[in-house]
């Protein structure tokens, strides 16, 4: 497999936005040559220690997600802050700190704006906000789930003139919602069961395809058709937190994560969740044309404890919707952690 060091956040043609050691690079994806864009403003000690991969994993120094505002400006969530990375100006600036106790998992791109929702433990079930960032760098709350309803937002997906919102985790209100274009109406669609607990989903010709994200129950890739009828396309060997769309496929990556709960001892002595069938991180492809399913590849979780040094997972670079060349970054995986690899479908 062709690989480059660091994590590719976004691909545009043969170039991409790369992150490594708390710095952003413009990288040529054909030869791997990179040019420094800018470094995050960080203390000298952290700047030194971030070169040690286990330290970076322990301290969660990698980005959560990235989104594209226009041809030169990207938005990245890392270190509890949302940053604007400007390739032309070769600078990175803090836009805003994330809400205390929260971060985000995904950006949704729509009409030159980015949308995201609060993601965090939220044990008290505080209200949960959905935000919009426009091209003028204005940020505002477009919708709020009331206190006591949901734990957090997993993802927001553009669907026609509106949006699909995926909320977690175990409460009856968790599941999949529909929102109209201006966010004046958000209504439950499929809620209240673990089969609707999802992070990755895509509108498709036959309806809505998504993968479940349950730690303790068996996971599947599922289809909801235009009439609301549900079907299972395939079982998968773990929860799904990451995926992407390519020219001809929807891709889903399974996660190796531990049993929920367990106290302090579970930081070291770990037990797989009931829905996690192995220590393999598996990439599954669903062909758009006929919804046929095949396994693309898999990676092995390394031996470091999951709660301390991160779950085994594979994160896809954004921006590959018009190609079948996929760039993905295995995390906490044997032989590939800290790299980005190219997969040809």
Tens-place pLDDT, residues 103-157: 999 999 999 999 999 999 999 999 999 999 999 999 999 999 999 999 999 999 9
**CB-based contact 334:53 (threshold 8 Å):** no
CA distances from 118 to 61, 142, 210, 238, 245 (A): 19, 12, 21, 24, 23
Residues in the chain: 345
Give pLDDT, residue 79.
96
pLDDT of residue 255 exceeding 90, the answer is yes
Give pLDDT, residue 96.
97
Q: Is the pTM of this model over 0.85?
A: yes
Report the DSSP beta bridge partners of residue 201.
Answer: 210
Tens-place pLDDT, residues 171-224: 888 899 999 999 999 999 999 999 999 999 999 999 999 999 999 999 999 999
Q: In whole angstroms, what is the distance from residue 178 CA to residue 284 CA?
A: 26
In 3D, which of 301, 241, 231, 232 has the Cα closest to residue 270? Answer: 301
């Amino acid at each position: 497999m062709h690989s480059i060091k660091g994590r590719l956040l976004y691909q545009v043609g043969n170039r991409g936005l790369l992150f490594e050691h708390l710095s952003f690079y413009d990288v040529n994806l054909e030869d791997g040559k990179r040019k420094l864009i800018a470094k995050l403003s960080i203390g000298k000690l952290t700047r030194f220690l971030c070169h040690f991969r286990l330290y970076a994993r322990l301290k969660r120094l990698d980005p959560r997600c990235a989104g594209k505002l226009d041809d030169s400006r990207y938005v990245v969530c890392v270190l509890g802050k949302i940053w604007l990375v400007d390739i032309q100006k070769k600078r990175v600036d803090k836009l805003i700190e994330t809400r205390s106790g929260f971060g985000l998992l995904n950006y949704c791109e729509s009409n030159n704006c980015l949308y995201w929702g609060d993601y965090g433990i939220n044990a008290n079930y505080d209200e949960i906000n959905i935000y919009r960032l426009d091209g003028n760098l204005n940020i505002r709350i477009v919708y709020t789930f009331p206190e006591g309803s949901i734990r957090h937002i997993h993802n927001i997906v553009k669907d026609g003139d509106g949006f699909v919102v995926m909320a977690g985790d175990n409460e009856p209100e968790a599941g999949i919602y529909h929102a109209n274009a201006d966010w004046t109406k958000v209504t439950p669609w499929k809620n209240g069961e673990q089969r609707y607990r999802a992070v990755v989903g895509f509108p498709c010709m036959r309806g809505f395809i998504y993968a479940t994200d349950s730690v303790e129950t068996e996971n599947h890739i599922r289809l909801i058709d235009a009439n609301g009828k549900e079907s299972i396309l395939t079982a998968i060997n773990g929860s799904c937190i990451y995926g992407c769309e390519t020219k001809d496929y929807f891709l889903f990556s399974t996660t190796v994560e531990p049993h929920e709960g367990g106290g302090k001892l579970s930081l070291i002595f770990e037990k797989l969740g009931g829905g996690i069938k192995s220590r393999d991180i598996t990439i599954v492809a669903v062909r758009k044309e006929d919804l046929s399913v095949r396994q693309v590849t898999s990676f092995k979780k390394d031996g470091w404890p999951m709660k301390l040094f991160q779950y085994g997972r594979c994160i896809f670079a954004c921006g590959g919707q018009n190609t079948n060349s996929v760039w993905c970054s295995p995390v906490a995986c044997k032989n590939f952690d800290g790299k980005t690899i190219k997969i040809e479908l």
